[in-house]
Structure 1
Amino acid sequence: MTIERISTNNRMSKIVKHNGTAYLCGQVAKDRNGDIQTQTTGMLEKVDELLESIGSGRDKILSATIYLADMADFKAMNEVWDNWVPEGEAPARACVQAQMASPELKVEISVVAATS
């Protein structure tokens, strides 16, 4: 059994690969002071970058868990999400309200994707 850990520190790895599957650590917005759509866009850009770095992509996402600080942002977040997900390639997804690690954060995502 081979497990590959990428960009690992004492707390976590940015990506863990095992058996053709990649597990990304939680991703948050590049601009933590933006509104929900700005934060969602920046967060998904980071997901794109991580997936690309391992030869994967949006079309290979198996599941996503989205955490919102406030469910009132659900519709606005989904407007960005729906435009980002390739047509016909939507992953299994859950979206829940959660207290964020920093008060300015509005959204976070955890992704599992195929790598081969």
Structure 2
Amino acid sequence: MTQITRHQTGARMSQIVIHGDTVYLAGQVGSPGASVTQQTEDCLAKLDALLAEAGSDRTKLLQVTIWLADMADFAEMNAVWDAWVPEGHAPTRACGEAKLATPEYRVEVIAVAARG
């Protein structure tokens, strides 16, 4: 049976769940009330840190889901995303509009990656 390991676990959720060589990351948000650019940068910095903790990195991303509070922010978010994703290592990705936890959040990023 493949082992499941959880990191940064609380009563409600874990920030990282590792199953075999697959890493699942919880949704990451940026500084409440900040610009879409800043929130996206914050989310991606958090992903980098969580991936490193799990023994992975952004070149090993498999799938990313991005939620925007308003699709009008799509281009602004993509400007940050496009600079962050290593050339030749783009994961599958979906982006949609959703009401986030509070109105101060404008971006949330969820990722799945490989390890090793």
TM-score under structure 2 length normalisation: 0.96
Give distance in 2, aligned partners of 1:71 and 1:32.
18
Residue range with higher mean Cα deviation, 98-107 or 31-40: 31-40
SS in 2 for 1:47: helix
**Displacement, 1:21?**
0.3
CA RMSD of aligned residues (A): 0.7
> What does 1:43-58 align with in structure 2 at a 5 Å threshold?
43-58=43-58
Question: Could you say which residue in structure 2 is the equivalent of 1:68?
Answer: 68
The Cα offsets for residues 8-47 of structure 1, whole Å up to 9 and x where unpaired, read as 1111111000010000000000x22211001100110000
Question: Could you say which residue in structure 1 is the equivalent of 2:86?
Answer: 86
Give distance in 1, aligned partners of 2:8 and 2:81.
26
**Displacement, 1:115?**
1.0
Give distance in 2, aligned partners of 1:90 and 1:113.
11
What is the identity, as a one-letter code, of the residue corresponding to 1:18?
H
**Displacement, 1:99?**
0.2
In the TM superposition, structure 1's runs of 4+ consecutive aligned residues that sit over 2 Å from their partners are none
Give distance in 2, aligned partners of 1:34 and 1:70.
14
Give distance in 2, aligned partners of 1:7 and 1:105.
22
> What does 1:1-116 align with in structure 2 at a 5 Å threshold?
1-29=2-30, 31-116=31-116
Give distance in 1, aligned partners of 2:55 and 2:4.
17
TM-score under structure 1 length normalisation: 0.96
**Displacement, 1:53?**
1.1
**Identity across matched positions, percent:** 52
